[in-house]
Structure 1
Amino acid sequence: MAHQEILRLRTARRGTLEITREVAAVVSRANVRTGLVNVFTQHTSCSLIITENADPSVRRDLEMLAQRWAPDGDADYVHDAEGDDDMAAHARTVLTAVSLSVPIGNGEMLLGTWQGIFLWEHRTHPHAREVVITVTG
């Protein structure tokens, strides 16, 4: 049995947007007791992460690290068609992930106490994003 929905989001700017509740709602609607939920973003300049959901300083620190890994406007970048953040956003996506999976037990995601699912926007301006959520069980 499989159930699939597309979550349409609008990001404000670079940073994280928690989507745990939205994914949990899809899992609930799927009526799967034991299985797996896969979350996939259809974009090359944002990613998905599971990280700390209680202390926002963790996500601020992740952003600081990402700026070190892939700085905006590096003079060595060739791809900059959409601005200084263009290649940096693609690099950040490659260094993180566009897909993640979470086990389902007793009809709920089996996330740890302090885990949340986040869309990580890597562009500096707002964007429309689509996330495909597929529940199997």
Structure 2
Amino acid sequence: MKTFQTLLKITTPKRGTYSITDKIEQCVKESGIQSGLCHVFCQHTSASLIITENADPTVREDIEYWMQKTILDGDPAYRHNYEGDDDMSGHIRSMITQSSQTLPVSNNRLNLGTWQGIFLYEHRTGRFERRLVVTTQGA
């Protein structure tokens, strides 16, 4: 079994979803692994990883609408607000989504469904540099 690991840095200009499928696909290609698994881990507590539809951006807009409606920025009941109104809401958003994703690798490519894409989901409203650890294992 072979293992390949790399660190990706992604700059997020504001809250939202950012397609990282191509960047993860490039890591898999560089690994040379034909068959195995690719694990992506987000090293942050206010950003996350989601797999969702990659064709229609209104899907991601609707997800964000639901998040904003459900998890309020600046809720006066939050005690943790050291970095602003989006601080605690960012942590809650990250907690109910995923900090990591594991994907199958076949023929030196991610084996995603036709309409699936991998997105870094920035939960804060400011600009951040996010770090992702990408580990590919297999034959």
Q: What range is the shorter-chain TM-score in?
A: over 0.9
Residue 135 of structure 2 is aligned to residue 128 of structure 1: no
Residue 16 of structure 2 is aligned to residue 37 of structure 1: no
How far 1:126 sits from its partner (Å)? 0.6
Give the structure 2 partner of residue 83 of structure 1.
84
Q: 2:97 is aligned with what amino acid?
A: T
Moved over 2 A (4+): none
Q: 2:83 is aligned with what amino acid?
A: E
> Identity rate of aligned residues, in percent?
48
User: Does the residue aligned with 1:66 lie in a helix, a strand or coil?
Assistant: helix
TM-score w.r.t. length of structure 1: 0.98
Distance 1:69 1:46 in 2: 17
TM-score w.r.t. length of structure 2: 0.97
Structure 2 gap ranges (5+): none
Q: CA RMSD in A?
A: 0.6
How far 1:69 sits from its partner (Å)? 2.5
User: Does the residue aligned with 1:80 lie in a helix, a strand or coil?
Assistant: coil
How far 1:68 sits from its partner (Å)? 2.3
Q: Map 1:1-137 onto structure 2 (within 5 A).
A: 1-137=2-138
Distance 1:3 1:38 in 2: 10
User: Does the residue aligned with 2:72 lie in a helix, a strand or coil?
Assistant: coil
Q: What is the aligned residue count?
A: 137
Q: 2:48 is aligned with what amino acid?
A: S
How far 1:124 sits from its partner (Å)? 0.4
How far 1:107 sits from its partner (Å)? 1.2
Distance 1:69 1:49 in 2: 18
User: Does the residue aligned with 1:7 lie in a helix, a strand or coil?
Assistant: strand
Structure 1 gap ranges (5+): none
Q: 1:97 is aligned with what amino acid?
A: Q
